[in-house]
Amino acid sequence: MAHALDELLADGVEGRHVLVRSDLNVPLDGTTVTDDGRIKASLPVLKKLADAGARVVVMAHLGRPKGQVDPQFSLASVASRLSELADFPVTTAEDTVGSDAQAKASSQQNGEVLVLENVRFDPRETSKDDSERGAFADELVAVVGGDAAYVDDAFGAVHRKHTSVYDIATRLPAFMGDLVKTEVDVLSKLIENPERPFVVVMGGSKVSDKLAVIDNLIGKADALLIGGGMGYTFTAAQGYNVGKSLLEKDQIDTVKEYLERGKAEGTEFVLATDVVWASAFAADADHEVRPVESLEDGKIGAEGLGLDIGPETQKTFARYIAEARTVFWNGPVGVFEMEAFAQGTKTVAQALADTEAMTVVGGGDSASAVRNLGFDDDQFGHISTGGGASLEYIEGKDLPGLDVLGA
């Protein structure tokens, strides 16, 4: 049984170091944070600890610097944005376990938050070698002292067996942060006891990325609405020519099998009946709406590609969402970054915002899409902070960061 943050607070943390794994892996344009959703999501736990007088030391990663110090992946600008949003003191260390981190941690005052530099600047963070990760964990513990506690509040990283997620929890008293607990509570309800009808909207580029999720949802979801680049493999499985659209030919047989299983196990697959067809993958490309039935061999050849679901499909998706009692959405249904091909994703987001059903936006590109398209987080029941982690949870996989907490 995982220990909750409130248990740690009940024991008292004033004057004690608490090492927190936060998820600050946010998109940047140079040094400007373009989506601070994960930073905002990390604030409540940091504030709870700071208000209780803890000396909070934050571990986090940014991007994939491949075990080397790379200035473009420095957490400095992210920590700066955290400081702007926070009502508690935030300082930053220039390294992770080096002299600056040690000095600043040792001089911390109660209620202060110190952000260490990117843990992935050290190759041991992501090492497959248990002893290498363990050695890095020991050095992190040395920064805060052996009487410190550990709180995992980074759901977006719980599917990784990394030092700051897994090995630290074997060396310090470990607790589940509120953000992680909320994610587990919400996602477990989706899988174990959703209010029905339970509708899932799946998009994104590659069907292969979502196969295990779809496999686990057949027989659990009442309807699976398929769009985005992955949808063209389903279209091809129906016998249509998808031109230069994203297509994974090696997955067509698997998709056909899923369509048959859905019929047998009571899960309806709702596929695109029309698409926005473009002459090229470009924001200013010529485009038109085409019924899927027109995508027959010989009629279009290999010219063009689909970049969004069409208006009829949008209406259909919106109707299924409106009639649902639980909705999970993972992946945009079109190239929402280009205005001409954003309407499908806008329609899905609006339908989720309008319904009174329990709605869960499954992190990653979906979370970025709703914010970039002008929606507020509070228009949705829950926006997951973990793209890959939430998918793996729904796949039914064991997640190392949860297992080590006893969750």
Read off the pLDDT of each residue in 17-38 and give the average, rounded to a whole number. Answer: 93
CB 338 within 8 A of CB 280: no
- High-pLDDT (> 70) share of the chain, %: 98
Across the chain, mean pLDDT equals 93
In this predicted structure, what is the pLDDT of residue 365? 78
Q: Which residues is 92 bridged to in the sheet?
A: 115
Which residues make Cβ contacts (< 8 Å) with residue 403, sequence separation at least 6? none
Known binding residue 23? Answer is: yes
Q: Quick one: three-class SS letters along 220-273?
A: CCCEEEECCCCHHHHHHHCCCCCCCCCCCHHHHHHHHHHHHHHHHHCCEEECCC
In this predicted structure, what is the pLDDT of residue 37? 86
Per-domain boundaries in the chain? 5-180, 194-395
Q: Which of 344, 364, 387, 401 is catalytic?
A: 364
Known binding residue 364? Answer is: yes
Distance CA 40, CA 169 (A): 24
Active site residue 206: yes
- One-letter amino acid identity for 100? D
Which carries the bigger pLDDT value, residue 99 or residue 394?
A: 99
In this predicted structure, what is the pLDDT of residue 300? 44
Confidence label for 180 from pLDDT (cuts 50, 70 and 90): very high
In this predicted structure, what is the pLDDT of residue 82? 98
**Comparing 30-39, 82-91, 105-114, 357-366, which segment has the lowest mean pLDDT?**
357-366
Known binding residue 337? Answer is: yes
CB 151 within 8 A of CB 404: no
pLDDT tens-digit readout, 123-160: 999 999 999 999 999 999 999 998 999 999 999 999 99
- High-pLDDT (> 90) share of the chain, %: 82
Instruction: Output phi, psi for 219, to 5 deg.
Output: 95, -15
Q: Which of 16, 38, 181, 371 is catalytic?
A: 38
Known binding residue 111? Answer is: no
pLDDT tens-digit readout, 330-343: 999 999 999 999 99
pLDDT tens-digit readout, 247-275: 999 999 999 999 999 999 999 999 999 99
Which carries the bigger pLDDT value, residue 365 or residue 167?
A: 167
pLDDT above 50: residue 301: no
Residue with tokens 């899932």: 200
pLDDT tens-digit readout, 192-248: 999 999 999 999 888 888 888 999 999 999 999 999 999 999 999 999 989 899 999
Confidence label for 364 from pLDDT (cuts 50, 70 and 90): low
Known binding residue 24? Answer is: yes
Known binding residue 366? Answer is: yes
Distance CA 231, CA 255 (A): 10
Intrachain domains 5-180 and 194-395 with the same fold: yes
Q: Which of 40, 47, 206, 244 is catalytic?
A: 206
pLDDT tens-digit readout, 390-399: 889 988 889 9
Read off the pLDDT of each residue in 286-298 and give the average, rounded to a whole number. Answer: 81
pLDDT above 90: residue 297: no
Known binding residue 295? Answer is: no
pLDDT above 70: residue 1: yes
Confidence label for 83 from pLDDT (cuts 50, 70 and 90): very high
Fold for 5-180, please state it.
Answer: Rossmann fold (3.40.50)
Most confident listed range (90-94, 186-190, 192-196, 403-407): 90-94
Distance CA 387, CA 377 (A): 16
Known binding residue 140? Answer is: no
In this predicted structure, what is the pLDDT of residue 78? 97
Q: Which CATH class for the 194-395 domain?
A: alpha beta
pLDDT tens-digit readout, 46-66: 999 999 999 999 999 999 999
Known binding residue 110? Answer is: no
pLDDT above 70: residue 176: yes
Known binding residue 266? Answer is: no
